[in-house]
A and B are shown apart, each in its own frame.
Chain A
Amino acid sequence: MSEALGLAARWMAAGEWRAHPGRVVTAALAIAVGVALGFAVHLINASALNEFGRAVRTVNGEADLRVRAVARGFDEMLYSRLARTDGVAAASPVVELAAAAPKAGDLTLIGLDVLRAARVTPSLVASQGAGPGAVASQDVAAISPALLAATGLRPGDSLSLTANGRTQAFRIGGVLTGAAEGQKLAVVDIGRAQWRFDRLGRLDRIDLRLAEGADRAHVARVIASQLPADAQIADAQTDARASDNLSRAYRVNLDMLALMALLTGGFLVYSAQSLSVARRRPQFALLRVLGVTRRALLVQVVAEGLVVGAAGSVLGLGLGLALAKGALALFGGDLGGGYFAGQTPDLVFAPGAAALFLALGVAAALIGSLAPARDAARAQPAVALKNLGDAVDPRAAPGAAVAVLALAAGAAAAFLPAVGGLPIFGYASMALLLAGGVAAMPWLARRLLSPLRRTSFGVPPLDLAVQRLWGAPSQASTALAGVVASTSLLIAMAVMVASFRGSVADWLEQILPADLYVRVDAAGQGLSPDVQMRMAATPGVARAEFARTAPLRLSPDRPPVVLIARAQGWDASVEGLQVGPSRSPAPGTVPAWVSEPYARLYGKKPGDVIQLPLGPKGAVRASVVAVWRDYARQSGAIAVSGVDYARLTGDRTASEASIYVAPGARLETVTSSLRAALPADLRSRVQFAQPRQLRAFALGLFDRSFAVTYVLEAVAMLVGLAGVAATISAQTLARTKEFGMLRHVGVLRSQITAQLAAEGALLGAVGGIAGVGLGFAMSQVLIHVINPQSFNWTMQTRIPLGLVAGVGVALVISAAGAALIAGRRALSADAVRAVREDW
């Protein structure tokens, strides 16, 4: 646009903003809130992930390559072979155990050959106090600051560590200065670890440093060719991918949710710009007459929106930064998903993310301004100049072509697969459905109001209200765009959460059929066959079923799956949880029942043959018999029979027990008897829980994980309601001439007020119907596309009728209230003369 036209545009924009600063501020604030929420959520997650990654790197060190156990360790003879491999400069053997300490709870225990580790992963031995040599001798441990603080001990004190069912006292020799904040870590001599904790002859990891100039890929291939089935090769990148994959879907979904508030802000800009354009129609017509081209006018309106968007985005970035800083300080880095629990990470500012959210805020304002700008440019100047009031032609039936196109595209996008494990097309589907739904508002408003228009209620205010809304359905769209967007998103999320929670609750009922559950913690060794027999023979126990769970690392860049071996088999227990058909196992294979997340993550289905790295002889061929629903293990689970597991691994211990109490026996008595049946050194490592406790705990975790979701949804709804109030107010104030005319022909002030209230209520009802219908459609995308593609689980749809009805009623009341309040101002004598019409 030429400089001259830019000057005229600046005059026009400045004049408009001076006259109506409230509306400009409202639109900018809406963008600011959206950007702030999205940026804050992103920063919190990024900071937590950074800290999480640092913790992982602390445990893993800085090795060039790493050989890791797939399940329960591998033969330590592998170490000497790898250390002699060409290209390997140094190798460090590692034992890594889940452990526990008094007052500190769970921690990670690492056993190192300190001298070798100092050459490969020096950060694991960097410590204050005793140097590396001290750890190598006797029972001395170097521990992280967080573990030191948790135990309340000091260097030199004695610390009891329990792992693999064994407890041993160590003297605290030093503090690990390189440990991540909040990480509980203890490093001891590898020989002590293997001996004290019953891991003789076994290693969990070998860290490798490559020789200068060695070809990493070639060395990795050579090493991989030497590995047994129970070991796999990885590096820092695969480690990063594995830890990133653990929480990626959760973080991305939360980011998308936060962006919904921004989307609502964009619709608010659309409403504000539409109103501004409608009010300035004669002015724009004059400009066209005086010689401003259509394109220049379109650019002007868009530019006004961009300025609002830019101002709102900059403000939003500042707010978001403050919000993230405050949230991290007060609540830590976990937003409810549990992936980063216990962390209090430092805020990591991400310039790239800041630029992205700034661009998104501006883009939201730009998109919100395009339709009004196009309307301004397309208006016929001669006609617009003559129209001194509303340019409403009831004969013009609103079209639905754009809406149908957007809705159809949205529906089609829902059928497209995930991209890189993320439901990109699912999000696109939601956005298209939303855009299509809002675009369909004028058509829908007319269709819904047509039956009412053909009916005369005999109540002038109601008849006038219906006639007016029927004749101006586009104005309804302008008023309701923001709130329909936020309502539909709220309904979509509410249906999804209700469906998810209902499915989880049903699943818990099916997966917890016993009267009592027993679990040995990770530091405990497990329930031996003798202990199992004693427990089963305990008075009051009708039946006891035992299972062993263990992590199984099938892919270096994915979190481990959980292997579940159940002594009593699986057919009956998965019957109620089965998803899809079952197949008989192929001859010569071990039957395996895989969880839904596993099946989706690894692309397996009943009838497929998989390799299970169990036992010392290499991988075992297993047949997928059926897929079962599992909401507990997002990374996947594979169930096999306990008999097969014991045969393949030689491990007959159990880590869990399901107890069925005999009729007439008291649960408390049985629990005490079972505890007494345990070996003394195991009693402190075993937890007892009743099904209702487990169900309450699981559902509590579920509710907590969605708490942030509810907050974001509430904010989006408030932004939308603020938008509908501001828009209805502005539209009402613009009709003072109309009200003046009505008063002249004898309509009472109270009747005009009633008309406005009826208009508001009808608008709210139309918006509510649109929002609920659209929200339900979007909920199906959430339930059947986004959730499965993100988290790899499915659920049945459930509709929270109470909440849906409540939202609808709230919308009707707030819209009617806004119209009523604005109407009172419009009818007052002062308002007619007022220059300022701000809300």
Chain B
Amino acid sequence: MILLAIVALPLLAGILAWGAERFGPAAPRWLAAAALAADAALVLWLWVWPAPGTGSWVAEAIMPWMPRFGIAFHLAADGLSLLMLLLSALLGVAAVACSWTEIRERVGFFHFCLLWSLAGAMGVFLAMDLFLFFFFWEAMLVPMYFLIAIWGHERRHYAAIKFFLFTQGSGLLMLVSIVVLAIAHYRATGLLSFDYFDLLGGVFPPDVGFWLMLGFFLAFAVKLPVVPFHTWLADAHTEAPTAGSVILAGVLLKTGAYGLLRFTVPLFPAAALAFAPVAMALGVVGILYGALLAFGQHDLKRLVAYTSVSHMGFVLLGIFAWNAQALNGAVIQMLAHGLSTGALFVLVGALQERTGTRDLGHLGGLWAAAPRLSAWGLFLAVAALGLPGLGNFVGEFLVLLGTFQRYSPFAVAAALGLVGAAAYALIMVQRAFHGENRQGWQLADCNGRETAIMVALAAGIVGIGVFPQPLLATAGLALSGLQRLVGAS
């Protein structure tokens, strides 16, 4: 039941927040923040006191929905889900906090969209029925479309439509794959079911298995994003309001990686293993291509968006390198990227709110004007380039270590991305914060709210970097099942 509460809380709070607008703009903000904080508390509760369950699963809730088609309202959580839920709730709080002064129009509806999008993502992380999964998948995207289209920046309509087309295209592919999978399973066993645990371990003719795997892979690859399906990301991230960018980078991209980990690989292990070199090559291309493009950008937010392409390349690499270190590294990278990139977007949002520009040609020399803000920018840049002791390093190191054991050429190529990361992170620091303050910016430095967001996210980044072991232990249990599959196939 606690799982149901985790999803229902933001849904309910979203409706209330919409209505609460009549009590002034502060009411929806406080309501949303409180609901997400309570959600985070629920997840923590579940983490600390897991329900005595079987294997790696800590909680489960199942209710009949459409029994005729074998569809049930089935939620379950393991360590992987828990970590993703925690990340979503915490970034949700940060997203509400960073919109406090940025969003002044239709505040109620804004928080409705924000909460519903997050609730959809949380549902994605919990759904163990493929039909339900698809339902949540769509539920998370539509509110995000509104977030971009209504509160976005200059080219918001273009970006929102692009985002919608890409994600709907991939969603359609996923729906087809899900239906075909259920039918194939029905043909093989005589049981029509959309339940994850029923479908797990299914045996298909090799080519059916391969095409299904490819369908699921592509559906999630768009979301991750994998080069060459990444081009929606730069526009969507750039044009979205700050909270939208935080949720997009921090949470929505993770649903793609989660889908690969939860569905693509376990449902079709043999096909996924055969496909692994191609997927890893795409991951490496993403790492290098993202780093190169990030380096070339003039728009600060676009630069950060391309760093996501580079960082998520490591996740893809780790998932398909498919051993204990690589898989755990991919999960850590997901968490660390969520926090560090989320924080970077908060920072860029704060800068844009003050200066009205994201153009690196107009920024520069901000250190003199706003030293605390700039120092946070420096810290986040350093986190992004993978300095040991901060979160991203642990993820990247474990991914590289795992990859190196079986596919060392990929590890060597991916390691070059570390040089590229240094290049884009440092050019960002140089062009935004260092140099002479030519434009004569006079900025207010971080206020208490912004400092609180930064301190919280930075604590998470340092925590992951120095004491990742509790996270590794939690994720490791959930991932151990995956490693057994590689032995079987």
Chain A bound to chain B:
no
